[in-house]
Amino acid sequence: MIYLIIVGVIVLAVGYSAKKTNSPISPYSNIIKIVGILIILVSALSASIVQINPGEVGVQKLFGKVNNNILVSGLNLVNPLVEVVTFDVRTQNYTMSGVLDEGSKAGDDAIRVLSADGLEVIIDLTVLYKVIPSEAPRILQEIGTDYRNTIVRPICRTKIRDNAVYY
């Protein structure tokens, strides 16, 4: 959409320069200027409207600064320069399994722990989690969009290992 704004500015500049010179398009300079202005307005308006799907929230990011206000599902009016990052706030699952194609990660992702009597136990596990909508800006700012591999997986593996030694 930004590219369309640039095209509109170029058309507008052509309209102004055509009026100052004696070119074959100088009689149409006013029409060219109007078309340039319309292109700029339509592209700025379309870049300002963001649709957030159901079950998602949007977080606005402008030049590296994260806005703490979230965008709810539906149409939202934003600054045309803002990048909107969407987060799924529905309940998701993360499966750690020893079966090759069953888990969320390719290969053997089962948790191997030692029990209280020193025997190795292999645990297949599915964890249900969800992003709290009001915490989405903080997640983007502190963790990033790959929170699944950065937070969910390591914390689940650590907590399972910590608790499995008691059994």
Q: Which tens digits make up the pLDDT trace of 119-167?
A: 787 888 888 999 999 999 999 999 988 888 888 888 888 888 787 777 7
| pLDDT at residue 56, as a whole number | 94
The pLDDT-based confidence of 46 (bands split at 50, 70, 90) is: confident
The torsion angles phi and psi of 115, rounded to 5 degrees, stand at -80, 180
The distance in angstroms from the start CA to the end CA of the chain is: 58
> Looking at the predicted structure, is the pLDDT value of residue 60 above 90?
yes
Write out pLDDT tens, residues 4-32: 778 888 888 888 777 777 777 777 778 88
- Over the stretch 71-130, which tens digit does the pLDDT of each residue have? 999 999 888 888 899 999 999 888 877 666 655 566 566 778 777 777 787 888 888 999
Check residues 70 and 118 and name the one with the higher pLDDT. 70
CB atoms within 10 A of CB 136: 24
- Residue 108, pLDDT score: 66
Q: What's the pLDDT at 58?
A: 94
- Residue 38 vs residue 115, higher pLDDT: 38
User: What does the pLDDT read at residue 156?
Assistant: 84
From CA 91, how far away is CA 106, in angstroms rounded?
22
Q: Are 24 and 32 a contacting pair, CB within 8 Å?
A: no
Name the token pair of 39.
């292109």
